[in-house]
Structure 1
Amino acid sequence: MSYSPKILIHSIAFSPDGVSTAYLYNDIALAFQQKGYEVVVLTTTPHYNVLPDELAKQPMKKKLGGLYYTSSFNGIKVLHIPQKKFGSTALRILGFVYWHILSLILGLAEKRVSAILSPSPPLTIGFINLLIGKAKGAKVVYNVQEIYPDFLIEQGGLKSKPIIAILKWLEKLVYNKSNAVTTIDQVFYDTIVGRFNEPQKLHIIPNFVDTGLYRPLADEEIILDKNLFANSDTIKVMYAGNIGHAQDWEPLLSAAILLKDQPIEFYIIGEGVMKDYVMEKVKINGLNKVHILPYQPRESMPHLLAFSDLQFIFMSKEMEGHGFPSKVYTIMACAKPLVVCSGAKTPIVNFLQPQQCAKLITTRDFAEKVNEIVAFLKGSSKESLRTLGDAGYEEITKKYSKEVVTADYIRLINKLI
Structure 2
Amino acid sequence: MRNQRKVLIHSIAFSPDGVSTAYLYNDIALAFNQAGYEVIVLTTTPHYNVVKENLAQQPLKRKAFGLYYTSIFNGVKVLHVPQKKFKSTALRLLGFIYWHIVSLILGLAQKNLSAILSPSPPLTIGLINLIIGKMKGARVLYNVQEIYPDFLIEQGGLKSRFIIKLLKWLERFVYNKSDAVTTIDEVFYNTIEGRFIDKSKLHIIPNFVDTSLYKPLSKAELSLDIVDFKPNDNLKLMYAGNIGHAQDWEPLIKTAILLKDDKVDFYIIGEGVMKSYLIDQVKLHNLSKVHILPYQPRELMPQLLAFADLQFIFMSKEMEGHGFPSKVYTIMACAKSLIVCSGEGTPIINFLSKHKCAKLITNQDSNIKTEIIVDYLKSVTKAELEEMGNVGYEAVKTLYSKEVVANQYVSLTNALI
Pick the TM interval, shorter chain: over 0.9
Tell me the equivalent position of 1:396: 396
Tell me the equivalent position of 1:22: 22
Tell me the equivalent position of 1:98: 98
Which amino acid in 2 is paired with 1:306? A
- Alpha-carbon distance in structure 1 between the residues aligned to 2:174 and 2:134: 13
- Alpha-carbon distance in structure 2 between the residues aligned to 1:306 and 1:3: 47
For residues 12-45 of structure 1, give each alpha carbon's deviation from its aligned partner in whole angstroms, at most 9, with x where no partner exists: 0000000000000000000100011000000000
Q: Secondary structure at the match of 2:353?
A: helix
Tell me the equivalent position of 1:209: 209
TM alignment of 1:215-234, pairs within 5 A: 215-234=215-234
CA contact 2:245–2:274 (8 Å) conserved in 1: yes
- Alpha-carbon distance in structure 2 between the residues aligned to 1:180 and 1:2: 22
- Alpha-carbon distance in structure 2 between the residues aligned to 1:189 and 1:416: 20
Tell me the equivalent position of 2:240: 240
- Alpha-carbon distance in structure 2 between the residues aligned to 1:384 and 1:130: 50
- Alpha-carbon distance in structure 1 between the residues aligned to 2:282 and 2:274: 12
The answer to whether the aligner puts 1:272 opposite 2:272 as a matched pair is yes
Which amino acid in 2 is paired with 1:247? Q
Q: Secondary structure at the match of 1:321?
A: coil
Q: CA deviation at 1:4?
A: 1.2
- Alpha-carbon distance in structure 1 between the residues aligned to 2:223 and 2:3: 46
Tell me the equivalent position of 1:378: 378
Q: CA deviation at 1:2?
A: 5.0
Tell me the equivalent position of 1:176: 176
CA contact 2:13–2:21 (8 Å) conserved in 1: yes
For residues 185-230 of structure 1, give each alpha carbon's deviation from its aligned partner in whole angstroms, at most 9, with x where no partner exists: 0000000000000000000000000000000001121121111112
- Alpha-carbon distance in structure 2 between the residues aligned to 1:27 and 1:266: 32
Which amino acid in 1 is paired with 2:156? G
For residues 294-336 of structure 1, give each alpha carbon's deviation from its aligned partner in whole angstroms, at most 9, with x where no partner exists: 0000000000000000000000000000000000000000000
TM alignment of 1:2-81, pairs within 5 A: 2-81=2-81
Q: CA deviation at 1:3?
A: 1.5
- Alpha-carbon distance in structure 1 between the residues aligned to 2:100 and 2:354: 41
Q: Secondary structure at the match of 2:117?
A: strand
Tell me the equivalent position of 2:317: 317
Q: Secondary structure at the match of 1:368?
A: helix
Misfit runs of 4+, over 6 Å:
none
Q: Secondary structure at the match of 2:348?
A: helix
TM alignment of 1:130-149, pairs within 5 A: 130-149=130-149
Instruction: Tell me how many residue pairs correspond in the alignment.
Output: 417
- Alpha-carbon distance in structure 2 between the residues aligned to 1:37 and 1:2: 12
For residues 105-124 of structure 1, give each alpha carbon's deviation from its aligned partner in whole angstroms, at most 9, with x where no partner exists: 00000000000000000000
Tell me the equivalent position of 2:84: 84
Q: Secondary structure at the match of 1:224?
A: coil
Q: Secondary structure at the match of 2:291?
A: strand
The answer to whether the aligner puts 1:112 opposite 2:108 as a matched pair is no
Ranges in structure 1 where 5+ consecutive residues have no aligned partner:
none
Tell me the equivalent position of 1:167: 167
TM alignment of 1:259-298, pairs within 5 A: 259-298=259-298
Tell me the equivalent position of 2:302: 302
- Alpha-carbon distance in structure 2 between the residues aligned to 1:5 and 1:222: 44
Which amino acid in 2 is paired with 1:318? E
CA contact 2:2–2:112 (8 Å) conserved in 1: no
Q: CA deviation at 1:136?
A: 0.4
- Alpha-carbon distance in structure 1 between the residues aligned to 2:136 and 2:385: 53
For residues 44-89 of structure 1, give each alpha carbon's deviation from its aligned partner in whole angstroms, at most 9, with x where no partner exists: 0000000111101000000011110000001111000000000000
CA contact 2:309–2:337 (8 Å) conserved in 1: yes
Q: CA deviation at 1:382?
A: 1.1
TM norm structure 1: 0.99
Which amino acid in 2 is paired with 1:412? L
- Alpha-carbon distance in structure 2 between the residues aligned to 1:61 and 1:76: 14
The percentage of aligned residue pairs carrying the same residue is 71
- Alpha-carbon distance in structure 2 between the residues aligned to 1:407 and 1:57: 26
- Alpha-carbon distance in structure 2 between the residues aligned to 1:177 and 1:382: 51
Q: CA deviation at 1:381?
A: 1.4
Which amino acid in 2 is paired with 1:245? H
Tell me the equivalent position of 2:368: 368
Which amino acid in 1 is paired with 2:278? V
- Alpha-carbon distance in structure 1 between the residues aligned to 2:253 and 2:172: 41
Q: Secondary structure at the match of 2:296?
A: coil
Q: CA deviation at 1:182?
A: 0.1
Tell me the equivalent position of 2:158: 158
The answer to whether the aligner puts 1:328 opposite 2:341 as a matched pair is no
Do the aligned partners of residues 211 and 184 (structure 1) sit closer, same or farther apart at CA in structure 2, a change above 3 Å counting? same
CA contact 2:344–2:362 (8 Å) conserved in 1: yes
Ranges in structure 2 where 5+ consecutive residues have no aligned partner:
none
- Alpha-carbon distance in structure 2 between the residues aligned to 1:354 and 1:7: 34
- Alpha-carbon distance in structure 2 between the residues aligned to 1:70 and 1:404: 30
Q: Secondary structure at the match of 1:113?
A: coil
Q: Secondary structure at the match of 2:36?
A: coil
Q: Secondary structure at the match of 1:356?
A: coil
The answer to whether the aligner puts 1:127 opposite 2:127 as a matched pair is yes
For residues 137-170 of structure 1, give each alpha carbon's deviation from its aligned partner in whole angstroms, at most 9, with x where no partner exists: 0000000000000000000000000000000000
Q: CA deviation at 1:366?
A: 1.2
Q: Secondary structure at the match of 1:316?
A: coil
Which amino acid in 2 is paired with 1:414? N
